[in-house]
Chains A and B, each alone.
Chain A
Amino acid sequence: MYDVVIIGAGVTGAAVAWKLAKYDIKTCVLEKCSDVCEGTSKANSAIIHAGYDAETGSLKAKLNIRGNEMMDELCKDLDIPFKRIGSLVVCLHKDALSGLDDLYERGVRNGVKGLKILTGEEALFMEPNLSEDTQGALFAPSAGIICPFELNIGMAEIAAMNGTEFRLNTEVKDIRKQDDGSFKIFTDNGEFDARYVVNAAGVYADVIHNMVSSKKIHITQRRGDYCLLDKQAGKHVSHVIFPQPTGLGKGVLVAPTVHGNLIVGPTAVDTEDKEETATTALGIDELTKKAGDNVKNIPLNKVITSFAGLRAHEDNNDFIIEEVCDVPGFIDCAGIESPGLTSCPAIGEMVCDILNDRMNLREKENVITKRRAVRSTAGLSIEEVNELIKENPAYGNVICRCESVTEGEILDAIHRPLGATTLDGIKRRTRAGMGRCQAGFCMPRTMEILARELGLSYEDITKSGGGSNIVVTRTKGEVKRP
């Protein structure tokens, strides 16, 4: 019997696990994919929002502000990069300038610090590649950029180091409330008993919720296409550039990523298919056109990849973070769309508070609160690199040439808690394969390391678990003898 079972190992589930890790309870995270950070958490804008967007008084507003505040310390503890580069909401039409004032006032009501309305000239001075039509902008210095993979993986690692169990490749099929008030969770990988259940299932949070509650909820998948540009384009803008918001979301943004690329997106298309992460020609056309409205001369010939993510949009347009009224002990984290990434540590804190009220959580001794990220040789001095290579010569062997990722980093990614078992897992932990050649060069080399370290055959190696195998058989060269 677990005290708490968390369903979903995206940023929300990982944040809850991270917060619960310091308490003396038995926690398990169930994840249907082969790794953490495989759903919405891996495909989004990677922005830490300031908090002026959401309606004052909403959970989105409250948790955005709190999450933003928590981010500096969290990223320090996780040893991951976070840059508060600030954001600009750009207004292109004089008659729409009052919209900036509305956002400003809402931001102040929500508790956003440092907001400032800029004139068109001031905005262009700060960001010379804005459209010449810029009439004004809302500047929010507390907005920032982050790596969502590392945030998600880092929180999950800390939970794992403190004893939280992670069951990957485990999809919840049904949940039954037992007579003693506990839950029996049926999965494709065994049954689990839990006193409390936290539903952090992303776009599937409605499915999970509706397994136990008669008060149904409904999540719409709001698909967004993105383009990621080469690092050569990464300095095109130096802030997160938003258009003025519309009913469907914050619109197509242009921003540098924390690793120095340029990201453009997302579009917003509603779908009832929870797996529809295919990009469309229409979507890519739309976003390249829309991004060009606010930022001029985006070098779109430098796109290195495009992808689509799904926002988990709940019908009432706010986060649902509460104990479900007709199912005591079952806590929802549903409708976690933007600003979910920003809010995740605050969501973890809030769920923790809800559970504390019920369970009287006791802190355990010797809690691990920090982790060391995969050590990258990038940015180190020659002496520092040589120190690393002396310690482990694998740090001298570059595997991914585009991102300068060494074998030492890949070994670290494989052998750490919740280590990588797939090519995507290595990519998200080290950036190997995330550069301009998109793994064309390093894939066979990474496969060789994965096979050797995990004792896998090449045929067993996958891109991201399930049936995503890379090769099917040996070539005719090897003759198998009876």
Chain B
Amino acid sequence: MKSYDIVIIGGGPAGLAAAIAAKEAGNDKVLILERDKELGGILNQCIHNGFGLHTFKEELTGPEYADRFIKKVFEHGIDYKLETMVMNIGRDRTVTAMNREDGMFTIPAKAVVLAMGCRERARGALNIPGYRPAGIFTAGCAQRLINIEGYMPGKEVVILGSGDIGLIMARRMTLEGAKVKLVAELMPYSGGLKRNIVQCLDDYGIPLLLSHTVVDIEGKEHIKAVTVAEVGADRKPIPGTEERYTCDTLLLSCGLIPENELSVAAGIEIDPATGGPVVNELLETSIPGIFACGNVLHVHDLVDHVSEEAMRAGQNAVKYINAESKDY
């Protein structure tokens, strides 16, 4: 195995930008480790437009936005390994990873950039009562099934949570011929971008019920209906406001959680407010030489901001290595 100075965990928008910035700052020994079959991360399934307005002053789809960075990775000759899962990061910045070809291997890195992104809050964490049938998906999982695998989870949809992925999926499923009955949002305001509410719900006449939640799920094998109720200021359901909606699909868009299992196992300090590592102004975590950027640090609204932040992390990783080598 070749030796590397900087190992970047994740080949999504954050990892790609960090790798490019590190290379452009003068380090030739950068490696990206990506668990999926291709670079680009979650952008690959975000086939809608609206990406890159800040960075490129034009509206790109997710795969197009990712492609701009992937091309640069190729041009720069940056190494990457696909279908490779990082199993562990040591305090000494030794990265242990695994794939089919190399088996399990370790790389002693001089700097590590955490760019693992985030995951969606699942039904279990929401404690929605009722049965546990098929037909309940996080919005991102349904997005993958539809946009990457090419399959429709159902035809009659209720969406809980008005996060951006949920809003985007309301439009996407409508365009694929499904009937999206409503989007219920527990809070008195939406967590999604205004433009997504307008372009994904209003334009298609999909109602957004603020201060509402799902209080029951029917159907033993497959979901048949949900009961939606209004919630009070305490966010508890108000008796008497229940309404039943038949559906064969329930999508959940109820928040994103930075994916920091590797960071926690490494002993990196986590900020309870963001769910991401505590970092200094250099984006360096509590372990020197380990940097964090993108949604693993905190959940961003716009990918442009992720790219910008990740570039700083990549540059700072190079500066860290240069400073360390001067000490000797």
Contact = CB atoms under 8 A, between A and B. Distances in A.
Contacts of B140: 440
A128 to B, nearest CB: 22
Nearest to A473: B152
B101 A396 contact: yes
B313 to A, nearest CB: 22
16 contacts: A232-B264, A284-B129, A304-B124, A305-B123, A386-B103, A389-B98, A390-B103, A396-B98, A396-B100, A397-B100, A440-B138, A447-B149, A470-B135, A472-B154, A475-B151, A477-B150
Nearest to A438: B122
B220 interface: yes
B222 A467 contact: yes
Nearest to A282: B129
A303 interface: yes
Contacts of A436: 119, 122, 125
Contact of A475 (B120, B150, B221): B150
A356 interface: no
Interface string A278-316: 111101100000000000000000011111000000000
B146 interface: yes
B129 A394 contact: no
A398 interface: yes
B61 interface: no
Interface of A: 227-228, 232, 275, 277-281, 283-284, 303-307, 377, 382, 385-386, 389-390, 393-394, 396-398, 401-402, 404, 436-441, 443-444, 447-448, 458-459, 462-478
B141 interface: yes
Interface in B125-141: 125, 127, 129-135, 137-138, 140-141
Interface residues of B, number: 55
Nearest to A422: B134
Given A463-B134, A475-B150, A475-B176, A275 B220 contact: yes
A440 B150 contact: no
B129 A279 contact: yes
Nearest to A447: B149
A47 to B, nearest CB: 21
Interface in B82-141: 83, 85, 87, 96, 98-106, 119-120, 122-125, 127, 129-135, 137-138, 140-141
B234 to A, nearest CB: 13
A307 B132 contact: yes
Contact of B131 (A278, A396, A470): A278
A280 B227 CA distance: 13
B255 to A, nearest CB: 12
A222 to B, nearest CB: 18
Given A232-B264, A275-B220, A444-B144, A389 B151 contact: no
B99 to A, nearest CB: 5
Nearest to B131: A278
Interface in B1-59: 35
B124 A470 contact: no
B103 A468 contact: no
A398 B101 CA distance: 13
B177 interface: yes
A444 B141 contact: yes
Nearest to A463: B134
